[in-house]
Amino acid sequence: MRPVYTLFIALSLFTLTGCMSAGRPFNVTAVPQIKIGQTTKADLLGYLGEPWRTGVEDGQQTWTYGDYRYSLFGNTQTRDLVIRFNPDGRVSSYSFNSTYPQDRP
């Protein structure tokens, strides 16, 4: 019975101090290279690689690059880049948001 109790305590402590992450890191320095009406999907694949998630917003295809790191007792850090495309596959708009201090202007 004692090994089970010890395992339970160890798992409980890990859960309380653990972290969770979603998405994957991406090249934030490439964001200023994105030009509305000019940058293509192929350009973005070269700058950033495959998107973490794809979808549709208001009829426009979207790509999302996200890096989310959650901590129960530490700092939660998130950054995401959402890119919307024209029918011709060029960027129509994008938004970049981050809580990382180094990403602040």
Q: What is the DSSP string of the chain?
A: -HHHHHHHHHHHHHHHH-EEEEE----GGGGGG--TTT-BHHHHHHHH-S-SEEEEETTEEEEEEEEEEEESSS--EEEEEEEEE-TTSBEEEEEEEE--GGG--
Domain boundaries, the chain: 19-103
For residue 81, count CB atoms less than 10 angstroms from its CB and return exposed for 0-12, middle for 13-18, buried for 19 or more.
buried
Q: pLDDT value at position 61?
A: 98
Q: pLDDT value at position 2?
A: 67
pTM: 0.79
Kindly report the CATH number that applies to the domain delimited by 19-103: 3.30.1450
For residue 79, count CB atoms less than 10 angstroms from its CB and return exposed for 0-12, middle for 13-18, buried for 19 or more.
buried
Q: pLDDT value at position 77?
A: 93
Distances (CA, A) of 26 to 13, 29, 92, 101: 31, 9, 20, 16
Q: pLDDT value at position 11?
A: 55
Q: pLDDT value at position 21?
A: 87
Which residues, given as ranges, of the chain have pLDDT below 50? 13
For residues 23 and 65, the answer to whether their CB atoms sit within 8 Å is: yes
Q: pLDDT value at position 71?
A: 83
